[in-house]
Chains A and B, each alone.
Chain A
Amino acid sequence: MKNKYIISKKRGMYISFTVLTVICVLYLAPFFFMLITSFKPGQDMLRNGLTLKMDFDIMTLNNYRILFSEDSRYISWFKNSLIITAIYTAFSVFFSSLVGYGLAVYRFRGRRLLFLLVLLVMMVPLEILLLPLYRLMIEIRLMNTYLGVVLPFAVSPFAIFFFRQYVAGIPKDLIEAARVDGCGEFRIFFKIVAPLMKPAFGAMTILMALTSWNTFVWPLVVLRSSDKLTLPIGLMSLLTPYGNAYDMIMPGAVISVIPVALLFFMNQKAFIEGLTAGGVKQ
């Protein structure tokens, strides 16, 4: 009886292993083919589509040379993406942690209402606000600027929610004790609670950076000149009907994944905490 159980368990494991292997190969295949294609001339992709063929004789590093040549726009797109990601991450983590802390620690009039508003903002897709926000950006002269990309979403409702839940789990006695010692409220936050929130800061920094690095729709509206574009929008702009920029598409796509892939493999745990703690813990 027991033996039979173990055998069936073992067989189940083989089946799981095989199913997962097949699926993982399918999910990783796009990366592999993007990498292969990135070495082929753009004209080949224009003519034959993205192919399964491994033509080693047409594969060169030439595309990457073009990508990083001196007058290439790609370098400035990369730089723009880095700057926007840095500003956005710093803003959203800092401000959202303040708000989340405020909502978790203090009992004040309007606290419930504010929390409901946070949830409301989380639930309304920003795409609905595209046009009025666009007009607002024109009015306050933030079109085609980094700040225009960052500012409207600098306080992330998701991050607020996350920080609020996190701070709610920190013992209140600590704060009370500091208060009795005459510690000011801001000092309590920065010197006592913030150090305890390190894992939360880590998780949100990574999640916000990923979001910002890959965000597409809003920067597409705000950024207008070719030197200001971020990577995803820049890549899209390479798709001209004449195919004269096709050499840069695949290597450009490959290189743009590398920073986030590095970030992910160095901080897998924080990544997963950032994703899950917001919604699933109940």
Chain B
Amino acid sequence: MNKIKKIHNTINSLKVIPYVFVLPFIITFLLFFLYPIISAIIMSFQDIAGFGDVTFVGFKNYRNLLNPHYYNALRVSFSYTFLTIAILIPVPLVLAVLLNNKDLPGRNIFRSSLFMPALTSVIVGGMFFRFAFGTQPTALFNHIIGWFGLEPVVWLQGKWTGMLAMVILCVWRWTGVNIVYFLAGLQGIPNELYESADIDGANGLQKFFHITVPSLKPVIIFVTTISVFGGFSMFAESFAYWTSRSPGDIGLTLVAYIYQTGFNYNNFGFAAAIGITLLVIIMTVNLIQLKIFGFFKED
């Protein structure tokens, strides 16, 4: 009798206990994810003048998106994402292959040095680049281009030089991280593949393109995915250079636009509408990934 009760208890607790373990996630999901998303959707249809002062305005906020600032923000976010991925996949990949040689002297020192920038916050890195990109002829980057006889450039005021500054800050901080990902992926490639390629007389480049790159496909997909998210949600890099207002909107990314509209102009409804479009963009990218790569095949 007692034994039956005991078994009963166990079954009972095994039914309940899993939910106790996952409860922290359920609570934070509902309170800090689902609720904010729903309220963002609602806000995007409202004019919010103050805390009690709310009027429903239909699609007005979305219609207002058709303005040059928004187009500009889209362009900046897209170019930034594209450029960072165009650099942060091939460069770390090649460096990881170079680093993967066990006989290379100073291998760990190289790896740690390249990872160092990842330890800094965007702001700390930004403090360096902000002043290194100074307008003065003595400032670091102007000094360097001076060696080649070039005139000083006003880096942080121009559309393309401003973009360059943001991309460089990002590339500096992330190269080491992506190297770590690629190095981890390289460990999984069986050595026999290279050995048999050697026997067939393949050269280094052939081995790189026919063995290394195809074998690293999952890692490349993973790194691309996180880079897309990172790229579209970029704000801190821009803030580090120009805070929330940049000359000619050169640093106005989608998130910077949300921040500016919400916190500088107190136009919460409109800011929420921008956020929803960003959400749609990211979800579309997700779905494409899902479709092409079957990312979610669990276990």
Contact = CB atoms under 8 A, between A and B. Distances in A.
B40 interface: yes
A153 B113 CA distance: 30
Contacts of B39: 132, 135-136
Given A27-B172, A102-B22, A260-B119, A50 B36 contact: no
A19 interface: yes
B13 A185 contact: yes
Contacts of B278: 125, 127-128
Nearest to A281: B184
A96 B120 CA distance: 25
B90 to A, nearest CB: 13
A204 B131 CA distance: 34
B32 A279 contact: no
Given A123-B282, A216-B121, A98 B21 contact: yes
A78 interface: no
Contacts of B117: 27, 30
Nearest to A250: B127
Given A106-B14, A119-B296, A33 B132 contact: yes
Given A48-B138, A50-B128, A257-B124, A133 B18 contact: no
Interface residues of B, number: 100
Contact of A24 (B25, B114, B129): B114
Contact of A128 (B122, B268, B279): B279
Interface string B246-281: 000000000100110011000010011001101100
Given A49-B131, A235-B123, A276-B181, A131 B32 contact: no
Contact of B180 (A154, A215, A275): A275
Contacts of B26: 114
A31 B116 contact: yes
B116 A130 contact: no
B24 A131 contact: no
A281 B187 CA distance: 11
Contacts of A210: 119
A235 B233 contact: no
B197 interface: no
B65 interface: no
A151 B32 CA distance: 9
A37 interface: yes
A30 B172 contact: yes
A242 interface: no
A274 B137 CA distance: 43
B222 to A, nearest CB: 5
A114 B115 contact: no
B37 A50 contact: no
A133 B98 CA distance: 44
Interface string B11-49: 001110111111011101101110111011001000000
Interface stretch (B55-63, B66-74, B103-111, B157-165): B103-111
Given A27-B117, A216-B121, A235-B123, A48 B139 contact: yes
A130 B172 contact: no
Contacts of A33: 128, 132, 140
Contacts of B109: 24
B246 to A, nearest CB: 14
B159 to A, nearest CB: 21
Contacts of A260: 119-120
B95 interface: yes
Contacts of A233: 123
A136 B36 contact: yes
A236 B243 contact: yes
Given A98-B24, A261-B116, A276-B180, A16 B279 contact: no
B292 interface: no
Given A27-B172, A257-B119, 9 more contacts: A13-B101, A132-B37, A133-B36, A152-B28, A220-B239, A249-B127, A253-B123, A271-B115, A280-B222
11 contacts: A30-B132, A49-B133, A50-B128, A52-B144, A106-B17, A128-B279, A129-B32, A132-B35, A136-B36, A185-B14, A236-B123
Interface of A: 12-13, 16-17, 19-21, 23-24, 27-28, 30-31, 33-34, 37, 45, 47-53, 95-96, 98-99, 101-103, 105-106, 108, 111-112, 114-119, 121, 123-136, 151-155, 157, 160, 179, 184-186, 189, 210, 213-217, 220-221, 231-233, 235-236, 239, 249-250, 253, 256-257, 260-261, 264-265, 268, 271-272, 275-276, 279-282
Which 5 residue pairs across A and B have the least CB separation, nearest first? A49-B134, A49-B139, A102-B21, A125-B233, A214-B121
